[in-house]
């Protein structure tokens, strides 16, 4: 699958599910950036993908050790990314002395 397919599918599914919570994913640039990154992130295990080319060797290591559409296309990778993102958000909010959402 090409990057544009991942991005269009990501926006379609995210837009549908976000609409249940009255969230417009096209309203803010940062929300669109997160959707775009999340949509192409699973292909970080492919050296010819857009995100794989910019991954500083991580794509070749993942492809060599695990292959394409294995580890990064699993629920465990998704959960790890969510946990890392949440930790970064908490750390960022703590550094700004802001209340957590």
Q: How far is CA 63 from the centre of its chain?
A: 18
Cβ contact 59:46 at 8 Å:
yes
In the numeric block, the tokens 């890392």 are attached to: 84
Q: Report the C-alpha gap between 101 and 98 in whole angstroms.
A: 9
The pLDDT tens digits for 22-31 are 999 999 999 9
Domain total in the chain: 1
Q: Has residue 98 got a pLDDT over 80?
A: no
Domain that residue 86 falls in: 3-95
**Domain-embedded: residue 101:** no
**Domain-embedded: residue 80:** yes
**Domain-embedded: residue 15:** yes
pTM, rounded to two decimals? 0.78
């Amino acid at each position: 699958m090409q990057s544009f397919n991942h991005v269009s599918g990501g926006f379609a599914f995210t837009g549908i599910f976000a609409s249940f919570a009255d969230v417009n994913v096209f309203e803010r640039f940062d929300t669109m950036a997160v959707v775009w990154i999340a949509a192409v992130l699973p292909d970080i295990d492919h050296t010819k993908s857009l995100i794989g080319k910019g991954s500083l060797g991580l794509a070749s290591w993942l492809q060599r050790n695990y292959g394409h559409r294995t580890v990064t296309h699993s629920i465990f990778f998704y959960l790890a990314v969510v946990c890392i993102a949440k930790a970064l958000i908490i750390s960022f909010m703590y550094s700004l002395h802001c209340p957590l959402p």
